[in-house]
Amino acid sequence: MTDTQYLDDVIKNSGLRMNWLAEQLGITPKTFIDKRMNRSEFTASEIKKLCDILNIKEKERSRIFFN
């Protein structure tokens, strides 16, 4: 289950836009919202790509995506 609030904080602090992140993941903004809000799950490749883009370290990754 994704920790939506923590992920949103990381995104906000990065200065990147959610629509741009969705594009980088190859998904629609609506799908990105659904995954952030736990209506569906991020795939392993999406998690890796988000972590690379947002410079999320292993400890943060566990807190955000494997809470």
Summarize pLDDT for 8-43 with one digit per residue, the tens: 999 999 999 999 999 999 999 999 999 999 999 999
pTM of the model: 0.90
How many helices (H) and strands (E) the chain has is answered by 5, 0
Phi, psi of 50 (to 5 degrees): -60, -45
- pLDDT recorded at residue 50: 97
- pLDDT above 90 (res 67): no
Summarize pLDDT for 43-56 with one digit per residue, the tens: 999 999 999 999 99
CB 29 within 8 Å of CB 22: yes
- pLDDT recorded at residue 57: 95
